[in-house]
Chain A
């Protein structure tokens, strides 16, 4: 099926899908395949994998640049971050990330790019245009999750072995505070209004909701699914709707995504997806949520208004990260 234009409305053709999703804008979904050294390209309207782009070794964290023209790809085993031009789908350059980059984030202004260097206990800030390191901040052991406040003033690094969320001032690159959270914090995400910071702790099996002003933990959310071993409840990725009504948390080998009432901070329900679900991304209209399922080599698609899993589609080996373009 030919790719539809960015503003064109495509009718979803799959039988059961059409009833739930109705009409959907066509966005492009990019999924990094950790084992295949590739990016799968999916059309969000047809829910078909269109093609696959070869990239560097062991691609994990991916993020779109703010201008939407490029995808930054952590090629972990190549110790670099690759810049994938989305128009030509060619690698046009690399960023000096340091060894073993896994997750990254971008300042709201479009630069710098912030990269966690797990091996070096450093957070690296890189000027995107110049492709140069502008700061390195020593943080805890095995920094992994990278969050940026919506106003761009605070950068968060989660360190997996120190079990902390480090609050870093993006002007001075000084650490202003460290909040102890549950063990092995993997991911940090601010609410759109900046009033809350959500940090997932994989081994503790919890999500800490933090007030970024006071740096106090407002609530620690746990998870329980009948028939799932508690030690398999390993939250990793988290996404929160722009209006702050609901949050979605990928629970890893529990093979479920938790839907959380983000006002009450209570789990509403669990949606069964593929195996070892790690990362999540909304389409820009927040109608669909895509999940990467590393052990079943597929992507699940959740219809956000109805909270139904409407499709799963095979991608490459061990899908890890997901990013969705407006185009």
Chain B
């Protein structure tokens, strides 16, 4: 007699997989808490389970597959408080048998973690840090990056702007090191793809407190004045990673021009309204698991856990060596809702992936753009390509 799933909630498939020979693949997740300034928009407050929810959904995906391959994936999360000992937390995960560990931490912490397990059977996935150095001079053999770096993001945006023939950029920049890093990525992208920076303008002031009752009025005055008197340009490109002033620019510039960069039109690995290539299902699944929208770090954690799942499924193994080798190989073949398979670059461990270029409500495009050619794979026009890499794995 056919059985309805309602009668057997976990389904007959589970019963078919004898529990005796099920292999467990433990996955670790280390999150270093950091102080984050309150974002300008209430919509951008970081969820408590940011990233972790993506890993949890991928775990569900892996285990649905694992029912058939007799593999059981587990996820153990270590949250390290501000000022806490991240290295000790990592050691705890390693000691309890975790070979594959996602890390959500600033670059300097990630490097400490990487060095602390050097030479061991441990693979770390950087799901957050966009710093270029981690893929270049400071690259590490035991780290793969599912987070795109700033060069990839800037290149993705620049390709779209050039495709749109908005080639003259008024760059406005903040004063923080992250802003300077993003600015350098924008300068590099302009050179690579034919953008012209007509002027770089620094924003030094702190805008009027938006939460005070007349704060918005001041901003309405400040932003036009700040962008007044620029040479002719097509688009404002803003480098303000900490959201000090960037989100105030759209609709307030002196000249009627679009805003792109860290505000307005933004390059990102994932957008909650992305629905191409079957992404609708991914968004629906995530919203059911997390009761909120999916954002880039969620996606970057999802990919990392899925890569581990693919590694284990394809090699029929939970052992470090074969799974690690498969994840790094061209055979990874990971479907990631971007219209093409994603793999890790052999020269720096960076995940090569198309990048979404999105406005606040909807994706506008996906880079690489048509016409930016590459001998091997067009997606390698984003970020640092093999001939230019400074990475020598340590």
Give the B-binding residues of A (Cβ under 8 A): 100, 118-119, 121-122, 125, 133-142, 159-164, 166, 172-175, 178, 180, 182-184, 202-205, 229-231, 234, 253
Contact = CB atoms under 8 A, between A and B. Distances in A.
A136 B4 contact: yes
Contacts of B14: 138
A161 B335 contact: yes
B16 interface: yes
Given A164-B65, A182-B333, A138 B341 contact: no
A137 B7 CA distance: 11
A142 B278 contact: yes
16 contacts: A138-B67, A140-B64, A141-B61, A160-B281, A160-B335, A161-B306, A163-B313, A164-B68, A180-B69, A182-B333, A183-B333, A204-B333, A205-B341, A229-B378, A231-B378, A253-B339
Interface of B: 2-6, 10-14, 16, 61, 64-65, 67-69, 278, 280-281, 284-285, 306, 310, 313-314, 333-335, 339-341, 377-379
Nearest to A231: B340
B5 A137 contact: yes
Nearest to A166: B68
Contact of B2 (A134, A160, A229): A134
A136 B2 CA distance: 8
Contacts of B64: 121, 140-141, 159, 162
A214 to B, nearest CB: 18
Contacts of B314: 180
Contacts of A137: 5, 11-13
Contact of A136 (B5, B16, B68, B313): B5
A110 to B, nearest CB: 17
A230 B379 CA distance: 12
Nearest to A174: B12
Contacts of A231: 339-341, 377-379
A234 B15 CA distance: 35
B168 to A, nearest CB: 30
A133 B16 contact: no
B68 A203 contact: no
Contacts of A119: 281, 284-285
B378 A100 contact: no
Given A133-B4, A183-B334, A229-B378, A161 B340 contact: no
Nearest to A172: B2
A234 B16 CA distance: 33
Interface of A is mostly: loop
B281 A184 contact: no
B278 A160 contact: yes
A183 B335 contact: yes
A162 B68 contact: yes
A174 B12 CA distance: 7
B65 A140 contact: yes
A176 to B, nearest CB: 9
B335 A184 contact: yes
Given A138-B11, A180-B314, 11 more contacts: A100-B280, A121-B64, A136-B5, A138-B12, A140-B64, A160-B281, A173-B3, A174-B12, A175-B16, A180-B313, A253-B339
Contacts of A172: 2
A275 B68 CA distance: 36
Contacts of A182: 333
B6 to A, nearest CB: 8
A43 B339 CA distance: 34
A138 B14 CA distance: 9
A162 B62 CA distance: 8
Contacts of A140: 64-65, 68
Contacts of B379: 231
Contacts of B306: 161
B307 to A, nearest CB: 12
A172 B339 CA distance: 36
Contacts of B284: 100, 119
B193 to A, nearest CB: 19
Contact of B5 (A138, A141, A175, A178): A138
Nearest to A161: B61
A164 B313 CA distance: 11
B281 A118 contact: yes
A135 B3 contact: yes
Nearest to A138: B11
Contact of A203 (B3, B16, B313, B340): B340
B12 A173 contact: yes
B132 to A, nearest CB: 25
B4 A135 contact: yes
Which among B68, B285, B339 has the highest number of chain A CB atoms within 10 Å? B68
Contacts of B16: 174-175
A4 B343 CA distance: 53
A229 B313 CA distance: 28
Nearest to B313: A180
A159 B13 CA distance: 14
A32 B204 CA distance: 57
Nearest to A170: B2
A157 to B, nearest CB: 11
A291 B4 CA distance: 36
A94 to B, nearest CB: 19
Contacts of B310: 163, 183
Nearest to A164: B68
A121 B306 CA distance: 17
Nearest to A175: B13
Contacts of B3: 135, 173
A159 B313 CA distance: 14
- Top 7 closest A-B pairs, CB basis? A138-B11, A135-B2, A136-B5, A162-B65, A231-B340, A178-B68, A184-B335
